[in-house]
Amino acid sequence: MRFATLFPGVCLWTLCVACGSSGGETTGGSSGGPATSEGSSGDGTTGGSSGGEVPTTGGESTGEVPDPEPQTLTVLDKIVFYDGYAGLVDEPVPAGVIRHTNALVATKFSDEQLAAIQKTLQIGVIVGALCDNYDRIGSVNLALVPKGAATYVPAEVQRLELARFITPFMNMNKDPKTVPYQWQADNVVPILKDEALLAKYDFWFELSIFGVPYAANTEVAGCADRNDTQLGTLLLYTDSSHAAEEFSVLLPLAISESFNNYADGASDMVGTTRKTVPFELPADTKNFQLVLITSNHGANQGGEEYIRRQHNVYVDGKLALQYKPGRMSCEPFRVYNTQGNGIYGQVPMTDEEWQSFSNWCPGDVIDTRIVPLGAFKAGKHEFVIDVPDAMFAGGQGDFPFSLYIQAE
């Protein structure tokens, strides 16, 4: 598996000073820890880590023409999210932004922004605390929308999940009031630069942050009767420090699909946590890769959120990847968890304690796993993900599943 790692340089936080905070001064910088390997199986991270770093130069020029200056693009700026279970609010949004739901907003990527994309790409998200003091799931998506459309229905267009994250337990009255996340996403560059796609589609970037205010309404001063849950900012950083890979085939296969063993259609068969996704390659390829995101949820007693499971990925019956979700430690993210909660407790925990139950850390990214598999023949193929030990106690929990394929 190829690991996407962050470059040394200036922290994303520095780049985002102008983004502001969700009320009051921001006192945090990085999370205090680099990306760490997941699980006891030792496979590395593929998404980066909140609090990682970004490059400050475009690298050495390889020709007479100097590399362009690195660019930081603000795609969405301090968007307010609202109760994810409530009806659509009618609060205003900035020009060019559409609100699909209280937890999902989008904006069309402009020609000028497309032209600014160079050879590398990093995605940055900053979440600000409002009136949701629990850990929630969020994501960055790319929607392929028919050219010239003023809006779209998410379920009716092809979409890719580019990044996923978990918010910390945040009290909006305590510092730090924002948390930064970063992912290396060089593989997205050939998508944004693909002339055939550009001729047919506009690219819309989506930011999703689910939240509910009900606990904060009574537990957080100033949140009574409010339904705003988080602030969200989406940034892209690009430079020419190294060449992007070339891909001419893109197959979106799944975005945040349910994956469990108890719901019809969420797996191959009720009672098993095995999901098969057929796909077809239009021509022989010399460079083929999977881009996979999963995360384990279910906070009930004995829930899947708290039990690390072996995940097995197969392509055409051959094992392509094994992984166990979870960090070595969640202590680097304690600083962002300003609301008392049952995950962090009052004192630091050892690595062994974290590894005994933690599938992810509140305030951290969920890894994007890029799995290069070399040459593949044209025709029909089969992807399978299998988590054979998953239990889903009480018929609760889910492993939201996203997958797309790139090939050349």
CA distances from 175 to 4, 152, 171, 231, 333 (A): 30, 38, 8, 15, 13
Q: What is the pLDDT of residue 16?
A: 42
Domain ranges across the chain: 10-337+347-407
Residue 199 burial (CB count, 10 A): 8
In angstroms, rounded to a whole number, what is the distance separating the alpha carbons of residues 105 and 206?
Answer: 6
Q: What percent of the chain has pLDDT over 70?
A: 85
Q: Give the per-residue pLDDT at 26.
A: 28
Q: List the alpha helices (DSSP H) in 177-221.
A: 189-192, 195-200, 214-219
CB 119 within 8 A of CB 244: yes
pLDDT tens, position by position, 233-279: 999 999 999 998 999 999 999 999 999 999 999 999 999 999 999 99
Q: The tokens of 62 are what?
A: 């390889």
Please tell me whether the overall predicted TM-score, pTM, comes out greater than 0.75 for this model: yes
Measured CA to CA, the distance from residue 212 to residue 209 in angstroms comes to 10
The confidence band for 89, taking pLDDT boundaries of 50, 70 and 90, is very high
Q: CA-CA distance, 103 to 118, in Å (whole number)?
A: 30
pLDDT digits (tens, 9 = 90+) for 169-195: 999 999 999 999 999 999 999 999 999
Q: Would you mind telling me the total number of residues written for the chain in this entry?
A: 408
What is the secondary structure of 258-315 as a DSSP string?
A: ---SSSTTSSSSTT--EEEEEEEESS-EEEEEEEEEE--B--STT-GGGS---EEEEE
How far is it, in rounded angstroms, from Cα 76 to Cα 97?
8
The reported pLDDT for the residue numbered 244 is 84
CATH class for the region spanning 10-337+347-407: mainly beta
pLDDT digits (tens, 9 = 90+) for 328-356: 999 999 999 999 999 999 999 999 999 99
- Categorize the per-residue pLDDT at 206 as very low, low, confident or very high, splitting at 50, 70 and 90: very high
Give me the residue label for tokens 């009930």.
300
Tokens, residue 147: 């050219």
